[in-house]
Homo-oligomer: A and B are copies of this chain.
Amino acid sequence: MPTIVVEVMPKAELLDPAGKAVAGALARLGHTEFANVRIGKRFELTVEGPITEATLAAARTIAEEMLSNQVIEDVISVHEAPASGASA
């Protein structure tokens, strides 16, 4: 089924303790090549029927109003998933 992907990340200027914890763990395991880790969310919204401009617009609204909290997060992308459906 056609899928819209919404990507949300914590605001860059705000603390992301979960990301920090992962970065710390990576460093302890010797993976010093990664300076920083941030953890956000990836939503897959399945749409019945084809994806139209209207569905994308609806997804954008939902992304801003519900899937993210604009006070602490940014919606960084709302896009149609490639048809191949790598993410089944």
Write the nearest CB–CB distance from A42 to chain B, whole angstroms: 4
A15 within 8 A of partner (CB): no
| Contact partners of A41 in chain B: CB under 8 A | 39-42
In the bound complex, CA of A9 to CA of B88 (Å) = 10
Chain A 1-33 residues near chain B, CB threshold 8 A: 1, 4, 7-9, 12, 19, 22, 25-26, 29, 31, 33
Q: How many identical subunits does the complex contain?
A: 2
Q: Count the A residues whose beta carbon is within 8 Å of the partner chain — how many?
A: 40
Question: Is A45 interfacial (CB 8 A cutoff)?
Answer: yes
Tell me the complex Cα distance, A74–B86, Å.
10
A8 / chain B contacts, CB cutoff of 8 Å: 42
Decide: A25 near B88, CB < 8 A? Known: A35-B1, A47-B35.
Answer: no
